[in-house]
Amino acid sequence: MSVLTILRHAFQNKTIAFYCYNAYLKTAACGKDMHETSIAQNIIAIVQETLKEQPASASSVKTVRVVIGEMIAVVPELLHHAYDSLVSNTQLEQSRLEISIIPISAHCLSCDYTFGLKEFDFSCPGCHSSNIEVQTGNEFFIKEIEVES
């Protein structure tokens, strides 16, 4: 993952690493070596199970919407790539994965302040207490699918 992060930064800086990054994505999604590949497999299995419970007419899936908290450390580009590779030649081939990333927010139990976390600092910016309750950022679920009926 750290190599990937370096490559992503390099990619954002529009350097030659763009090519390496693409090559890495290809390898990653083809093999089993990425976290995102097994996540994509789980998503596809759950969507297929959901479809089985539906009337046959609802078989053409257009969009799969997933909600992922920032704590889960998923790289959206990698998840998209893994998903797209894995759905080819399946009934989900025409579907698009839509990822909503939820930032981490917390509530301070000492001073009652609700805040968004910055740089994974799990203490209250108001009173510096670490007696906080994480409210969002741990989500990791498939919300809904959009089908053509």
Torsion sign, CA atoms 52, 56, 60, 65: negative
Binding flag, residue 62, other proteins (CB under 8 A): yes
| Of 25 and 34, CB closest to other proteins | 34
Report which of 122, 90, 89 is spatially closest to residue 106, judged by C-alpha positions: 122
Binding flag, residue 8, other proteins (CB under 8 A): no
| Of 20 and 134, CB closest to other proteins | 134
Q: Using CB under 8 A, which of the segments 9-17, 39-47, 84-92, 95-103 binds other proteins?
A: 39-47
Among 17, 20, 58, 101, the residue binding other proteins under the rule CB under 8 A is 58
Angle between helical axes of 17-30 and 2-12 (0-180°, round to 10): 140
Binding flag, residue 33, other proteins (CB under 8 A): yes
CB 14, min distance to other proteins, A: 24
| Of 114 and 130, CB closest to other proteins | 130
Report which of 122, 93, 94, 97 is spatially closest to residue 108, judged by C-alpha positions: 122
CB 116, min distance to other proteins, A: 15
Binding flag, residue 43, other proteins (CB under 8 A): yes
DSSP string for 34-98: -HHHHHHHHHHHHHHHHHHTS-GGGGEEEEEEEEEEGGG---HHHHHHHHHHHHTTSTTTT-EEE
Cβ atoms of 54 and 47 closer than 8 Å: no
Q: Which residues bind other proteins (CB under 8 A)?
A: 1-2, 31-35, 38-39, 42-43, 45-47, 50, 54, 58, 62, 66, 68, 71-73, 119-123, 130, 140-149
